Amino acid sequence: MLFQWEVGQHSTEHVLGTFLASKKLDADVEGFARDLFEGAVKEVAALDHAVRGRSEHWRLERMAAVDRNVIRLALYELLHHPETPPKVVINEALEMARRFSGEGSVEFVNGVLDGIRKTLPAPP
């Protein structure tokens, strides 16, 4: 959804309507997906700032759009859903990069997310 929002320059409402309409998701799963998407969109500037701080020699604009949005989504989840273990969040991000992005993306996404994870406070 983040990719569709950014690349297609669609409103969040349009993306939610077109993406989720074609899926038959459990209410909890749909709610979680909405939360991640809407939250990442609302905090995209702060998320991008954090990514810029951990992506040496890579401008955000030069990153593959899929990688950039996978990182945004995972970072939002790391910051706002402490109930999900960071290793699980990062593993899911790597699976998305493996499935939807190009060669080298898994290593790149892992490097950025793991670098950010190391700066986060330890869970209580």
Structure pTM? 0.91
Residue 124 has a pLDDT of 62
- Per-residue pLDDT of 10-21, as tens digits, reads 999 999 989 888
pLDDT at residue 1 greater than cutoff 80: yes
User: Can you tell me the mean pLDDT for 21-46?
Assistant: 92
Of all residues in the chain, what percent carry a pLDDT higher than 70? 98
N-term to C-term CA, the chain: 31
Determine whether domain 26-117 maps to CATH 2.40.30.10. Answer: no
- Read off φ and ψ for residue 119, nearest 5 degrees: -90, -10
Please answer whether residues 121 and 109 qualify as being in contact, where contact means their C-beta atoms are separated by less than 8 angstroms. no
H-helix or E-strand spanning residue 76: helix 65-80
- Per-residue pLDDT of 48-76, as tens digits, reads 999 988 877 788 888 999 999 999 999 99
**Domain residue ranges in the chain:** 26-117
- Is the dihedral angle over the CA atoms 111, 112, 115, 121 positive or is it negative? negative
